[in-house]
Amino acid sequence: MNPTDPGNLRERELEHRIEELEALDRATFGHFSAWDWAACIAFAFVLPLLGVWWFAP
């Protein structure tokens, strides 16, 4: 196996990235709390459905 072959370099780079990402804790990417979920569900699902129901002919 030639370590300088572009294909092998890509594979090594991929493995390095996978190891780094798998090792990260979820908190590294910030929290998405139950309040965030509630806000998204209310604003982007429940309220739109109520609006559609309210304005239906």
Partner 1 sequence: MVRALSTPEPEQDSVFGRMPVLPGEREYGTVAAHTTCFAYAIATWCFLTGGYVAELVGAVEGAVCLVAGSLIGVFVTTMPLSMACQRYGLEQMDACKPAFGQRGAQIMLIFYLINMLGWSGLILVMFGNGLYNIAAALGFEPGHGVVGAGVALGLWLTYLIVTRGVHLLSLANSIITPGLAVLVVFMMYVLLYEHGWETIAAAQPLAPGPTPFINYMIAFELGIAAGISWWGGIGFLARNTRSTRNAIYPEILQLGFSGALVCCIGLFSALVVRSSDPTEWMVPIGGVFLGVLALGFVALANVTSTAVSIFASGLALRHVPGLHAMPWKRLMLLTVAPCVPFVFWPHELYDLGDAFLAYNGTMYAPIVGIVFVDFYVLRRQRLSLWAIFERAPSGAYHYTHGFHWPALASLVLGQGLYLFLYDPFTGETHDLFRLMPASIAACGVPALTYWLATLVMRKAATADRNAERRLIDPNI
User: Rounded to an integer, what distance in angstroms lies between the CA atom of residue 54 and that of residue 25?
Assistant: 44
Contacts of 3 (CB under 8 A, 6+ apart): 9, 12
- Does 35 participate in binding partner 1 (rule CB under 8 A)? no
User: Rounded to an integer, what distance in angstroms lies between the CA atom of residue 8 and that of residue 41?
Assistant: 45
- Does 17 participate in binding partner 1 (rule CB under 8 A)? yes
Residue 22 CB, shortest distance to partner 1, in Å, is: 6
Which residues would be at the binding site for partner 1 (CB under 8 A)?
Answer: 10-11, 13-15, 17-18, 20-22, 24, 26, 28-32, 36, 40-41, 43-45, 48-49, 51-52, 55-57
